[in-house]
């Protein structure tokens, strides 16, 4: 754990002035602080109160139940009251633990050190013992303190003192002795106002990039669905497929059930756990599938060593097999490549081996990802939603079936399109990461006195630094791709 990195200092120094004079804070990882600031501990500037342990009402109790917050209600974007439970509080606890507007709430458990400001989202609310409530003493600012906690959370300090290798608890005692830098009260208010303004602008840019990412993902899905049901020729004659969720398809395409284009469909047997090993053949599970791609996801690997001639041999993977989830996220699919060939599938994965009518397993996998296939696999066409697929469901899947040459052309077109979308999404995600890093650095610099914002006004607010050229290029490319 160190003070703000030299890189972040350099990034900020061009936009903001430093204080004229500094002194040693007395805390190694905080380094120097402005000469007129105080280096102290949280308990000397704020009152810390831990919430109530979960408790049922005593049989003779006359007090009523009240709504309360848990650690999970404290989210990065504020207090989430979508799920708030109630429990019994004594009269004394009602007086002690009732929340007031602008209380700072710091998670004691869960994601320790996560903080938010209570804005009277409920007319009356209390806290459970996974939350520390912080209130200012002597006129100190709760808003400044909130940003101080954000800075601590972004550093390694809270993780270290809570020993996150075990079950972490940021107890009231730990909070009280946590270091705190205190500028004069007026300056606390100025710093908080500056950070409110600047972080709001950064958050707006982040939100725009995140919306762009979602639009690109939606367009990616639409491109897949259109290509596998309408083909690549815009003016091709169409016909009614006779299937509600397929609609019209190119006139020269067939309508088939997948059982007519598979050699066989099977799934893994139970009892594979006894064959788990540190080496051997890949054991392909639900965790290795995703709806974002038809490539296998291999960041969670399990190996097995089944005995020769075991019943599991029938579920051994061959190159170009289709592997489809039949539980959890139904219809996630991948095409077996050389990395997973010779592995085995679990009981939650259907192994489908195409016959000679299929020229491109990738085309078929893209059809499985399409909206038309999803409608069928989830059972929406019958007014319900399935939670598990049978192998018969897979065999009965209705498909819009193009000639073999078009299967290959469609697969190549989709692969090329998805590569473009992935590049755009990646660039947008990089922008989000850079903006988040900028936000963290700005908060840290302001609350540790690395920048002087005493003369900040809203009219003089400086826009957050972004790579505008890259950002505009991403936006333009995205618009072109989605046209």
Q: Where are the domains of the chain?
A: 38-182, 183-231+402-483, 244-400
Segment 139-154, tens digit of pLDDT = 999 999 999 999 999 9
- What is 38-182's CATH superfamily? DNA methylase specificity domains (3.90.220.20)
Residue 400 CB: number of other CB atoms within 10 A?
Answer: 23
Q: What is the pLDDT of residue 105?
A: 98
Tell me which DSSP letter residue 114 carries: -
- Average model confidence (pLDDT) for the chain? 88
Cα torsion for 186, 190, 191, 194, to the nearest 10°?
170
Specify the pLDDT at position 54: 79
| Most confident among 34-38, 52-56, 107-111, 168-172 (mean pLDDT) | 34-38
Q: Spell out the residues 6+ positions from residue 408 whose beta carbon is closer than 8 angstroms to its own.
A: 359, 360, 363
pLDDT of res. 470? 45
38-182 and 244-400 have identical folds:
yes
pTM, two decimals, is 0.82
Q: Per residue in 396-439, pLDDT tens?
A: 999 999 999 999 999 999 999 999 999 999 999 999 999 999 99
Give the separation between CA 286 and CA 323, rounded to whole angstroms.
10
Residue 1 has pLDDT above 80, yes or no: no
How does pLDDT run across 438-480, given as a tens digit for each residue?
999 999 999 999 999 998 887 544 444 444 444 554 555 555 5
Could you tell me which CATH number the domain at 183-231+402-483 has?
A: 1.10.287
**CATH 3.90.45.10 matches 244-400:** no
pLDDT tens per residue, range 16-72 = 899 999 999 999 999 999 999 999 999 999 999 999 987 777 766 556 789 999 999
| Gap between the Cα atoms of 116 and 149, Å rounded | 9
Higher pLDDT among residues 385 and 38, named by residue: 38
């Amino acid at each position: 754990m160190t003070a703000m990195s030299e890189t972040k200092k350099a990034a900020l120094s061009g936009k903001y002035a430093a204080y004229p004079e500094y002194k040693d804070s007395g805390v190694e990882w905080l380094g120097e602080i402005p000469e007129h600031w105080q280096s102290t501990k949280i308990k000397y500037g704020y009152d810390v109160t831990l919430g109530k342990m979960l408790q049922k009402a005593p049989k003779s109790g006359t007090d009523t139940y009240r709504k309360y917050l848990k650690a999970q209600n404290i989210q990065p974007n504020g207090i989430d009251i979508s799920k708030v439970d109630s429990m019994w509080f004594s009269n004394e606890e009602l007086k002690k633990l009732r929340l007031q507007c602008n209380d700072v709430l710091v998670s004691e458990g869960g994601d320790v050190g996560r903080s938010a400001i209570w804005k009277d989202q409920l007319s009356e609310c209390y806290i459970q013992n996974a939350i520390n409530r912080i209130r200012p003493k002597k006129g100190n600012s709760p808003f400044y303190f909130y940003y101080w906690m954000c800075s601590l959370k972004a550093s390694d300090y809270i993780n270290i003192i809570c020993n996150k290798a075990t079950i972490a608890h940021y107890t009231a005692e730990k909070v009280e002795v946590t270091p705190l830098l205190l500028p004069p009260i007026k300056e606390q208010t100025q710093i908080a106002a500056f950070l409110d303004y600047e972080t709001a602008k950064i958050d707006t840019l982040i939100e725009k990039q995140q919306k762009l990412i979602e639009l690109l993902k939606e367009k990616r899905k639409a491109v897949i669905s259109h290509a596998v049901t309408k083909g690549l020729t815009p003016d091709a004659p169409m016909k009614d497929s006779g299937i509600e969720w397929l609609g019209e398809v190119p006139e020269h395409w067939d309508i088939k059930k997948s059982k007519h284009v598979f050699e066989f469909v099977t799934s893994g047997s139970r009892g594979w756990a006894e064959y788990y090993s540190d080496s051997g053949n890949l054991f392909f599970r639900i965790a290795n599938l995703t709806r974002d791609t038809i490539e296998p996801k291999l960041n969670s690997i399990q190996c097995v060593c089944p005995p020769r001639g075991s019943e599991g041999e029938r579920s051994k993977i061959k190159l170009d097999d289709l592997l489809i989830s039949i539980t959890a996220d139904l219809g996630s699919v991948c095409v077996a490549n050389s990395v997973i060939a010779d592995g085995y599938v679990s009981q939650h994965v259907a192994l489908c081996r195409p016959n000679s009518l299929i020229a491109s397993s990738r085309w078929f996998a893209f059809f499985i990802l399409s909206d038309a296939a999803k409608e069928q696999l989830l059972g929406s066409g019958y007014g319900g939603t399935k939670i598990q697929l049978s192998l018969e469901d897979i065999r009965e899947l209705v498909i819009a079936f193009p000639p073999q040459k078009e299967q290959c052309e469609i697969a190549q077109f989709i692969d090329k399109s998805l590569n473009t979308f992935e590049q755009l999404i990646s660039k947008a995600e990089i922008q989000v990461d850079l903006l988040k890093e900028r936000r963290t650095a700005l908060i840290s610099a302001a609350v540790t006195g690395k920048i002087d914002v005493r003369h900040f006004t809203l009219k003089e607010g400086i826009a957050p630094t972004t790579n505008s050229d890259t950002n505009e290029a991403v936006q333009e490319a995205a618009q072109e791709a989605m046209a």
